[in-house]
Amino acid sequence: MTGSADSRPDGPIASADGTGTLVLAGTPIGDTADAPPRLAAELAAADVVAAEDTRRLRRLTQALGVQVGGRVVSYFEGNEAARTPELADALEGGARVLLVTDAGMPSVSDPGYRLVAAAVERGVRVTAVPGPSAVLTALALSGLPVDRFCFEGFLPRKAGERRARLAEAADERRTLVYFEAPHRLADSLAAMAEAFGPERRAAVCRELTKTYEEVRRGPLAELAEWAADGVRGEITVVVTGAPEPGPQDLTPEELVRRVRAREEAGERRKEAIAAVAAAAGLPKREVFDAVVAAKHTPAS
C-alpha cells in the first residue's frame, strides 16, 4: 500500500515525505466519557505527547485506560516559546507529536498556536482529533442566535483595557462568546452591561458537562447582580449581538453612550461621532448635537 497510509488500516495516518505529523487533540471539557475514540489511539501511538499539564494528562489517561507510548513533555504558557523549536525539530525529523491541553482544542485560548505556525512554516503536516468544545456547547445551550457568532476569548484583566475591548464589540451584530475566570465574572458582566446596554440578553454557562452544570440566562444587568454573590467553576459567557440599527429607537443618551464608548477605546471624538452616525443611519449633525448637549453631563 502506497501513499500516506499507516501500516495499520485503523491507525494514525503518517506523512508520506518522511517528516512527522503534528496532531492537535481535543480533550473533554468536563466529563471524560466525552473523549473522542481516536484520542486513546493517538496517545498510544505518539512519539511525543506535549501536555499543558502533565498531571491532568495522567488523570485523563488513567480514566481512558490507555498507556502513553512516547515521551511526555510539558507545553504551557510559561515555556511555550522556548519549547516550540525543540518540538518543531522533532516534527521535521519524523516524529509524531500529539498536543493536548487541559480541556478543549489546543490553540483556542490555549497553548498551540506557536507550534502550529512553526509546523506549517517547516512544511510539516498538521491534523486534528476533533473533540468537545466549550464555545460550541455554550452556544448551543444559550438559547441565543447561533447562525453567526464570533469568539472573543478572555477579556483583559485591567478595567480600562476591558472597557476598550468591549467598546470595540458594542456594535457587533454577531453573537459574542467569551471565556472568563469565576472571580472576574461579576466585574466583566457589569462592564458588558455598561458597554452593550443593561438589557442585552446573555447566558452564563458554568461547569459544562460536569456534575454541577448550570446555564443562567437573562439581561446583562441581571446576570451581573447574580454573579456579585460569587460564582465557581469554568465559565463561558454568550452575549447576543447588537440589534440592527433603528434611528427611531436611539435616544440622544444612547448616541452619547456609543460615542463615549468609542472614545474610551481610543478614537477621536470626530471619528467616533462619524462612526456612530453611520452605524445608526443618522446624520452626523444629529449625533454631534446630542454629544454637545450632554457635554456637562458626567459619563454613566
Write down the domain spans for the chain.
Answer: 21-132, 135-239, 247-293
> Going residue by residue through the chain (300 aa), what tens digit of pLDDT does each one get?
333 334 333 445 555 567 899 999 999 999 999 998 899 999 999 999 999 999 999 999 999 999 998 999 999 999 999 999 999 999 999 999 999 999 999 998 889 999 999 999 999 999 999 988 999 999 999 999 999 999 999 999 999 999 999 999 998 999 999 999 999 999 999 999 999 999 999 999 999 999 999 999 999 999 999 999 999 999 999 999 998 766 556 788 888 988 988 888 888 999 999 988 887 788 899 999 999 988 765 554
DSSP string, 165-226: HHHHHTT--SEEEEEE-GGGHHHHHHHHHHHH-TT-EEEEEESTTSTT-EEEEEEHHHHHHH
Q: pLDDT at position 266, please?
A: 84
**21-132 — its CATH code?**
3.40.1010.10
260 to 32, 166, 266, 282: CA distances (angstroms): 46, 12, 10, 17
Global model pTM greater than 0.85: no
**135-239 — its CATH code?**
3.30.950.10
Q: pLDDT at position 65, please?
A: 94
Q: pLDDT at position 297, please?
A: 59
Same CATH fold assignment for domains 21-132 and 135-239: no
DSSP string, 93-115: TT-EEEEE-SSB-TTSSSTTHHH
